[in-house]
Chain A
């Protein structure tokens, strides 16, 4: 149990376009979902925290107008990278927590974004 999926697993887009990444909890209702970004050979950096039906909380330095997060249901959160540029190329990973899980975060497999 506690499986998190992401779609797509990889995407290549042109500079200036927008890309949407989906994060789904497949067999549980997610209390909270988190979005991370990971550049090559670096650690994960938290971008934002989101709860169903409320606005996401962004970490310092993360542009909320560029990285739009929608958490429409207890099993789905989306991250839209708007007007993507090559410097946005990265590995985007989501995670989810569930009630009574002692804050164990269940991570998705990640989405590799390449902006040309």
Chain B
């Protein structure tokens, strides 16, 4: 079973920031928080991951609470192409570590 809970769906206006929350209250010390997204009928795409510090890359920012029990993915300027299902996953690092996908958040970006 997935160790994360996310809202089922969210809407965001194009050009605004999209803030996607994730709860992972049972995360263990050696587990990272990963975010992937899946555009309809495509394979998932890696977005970002972090352990305890906030992270930023060209796609998004990841804010992890100090107790690591929750996190927020931020898309600073959402576009229509960001419409997708966003998955928050906790997993150990290591090339053979499995990813357990939950139900994710369906983000709809609108004009």
Chain A contacts to B: CB under 8 angstroms:
4, 6, 31-32, 34, 36, 43-46, 49, 51, 91, 93, 95, 97-99, 101-110, 112
Contact = CB atoms under 8 A, between A and B. Distances in A.
Given A95-B44, A107-B45, A109-B42, 17 more contacts: A4-B43, A43-B103, A44-B44, A46-B99, A46-B101, A51-B96, A97-B95, A99-B95, A102-B49, A103-B49, A103-B93, A104-B49, A105-B36, A107-B46, A109-B43, A110-B42, A112-B41
Contacts of B102: 43
A24 to B, nearest CB: 13
Contacts of B44: 44, 93, 95, 105, 107
Contacts of B56: none
Given A104-B49, A107-B44, A107-B45, A31 B98 contact: no
Of the four ranges (under 10, 10 to 19, 20 to 34, 35 or more), the interface on chain B belongs to: 20 to 34
Interface of B: 2, 32, 34, 36, 38, 41-46, 49, 87, 91-104
A46 B97 contact: no
A1 to B, nearest CB: 13
B80 to A, nearest CB: 20
B43 A34 contact: no
B100 A46 contact: yes
B95 A103 contact: yes
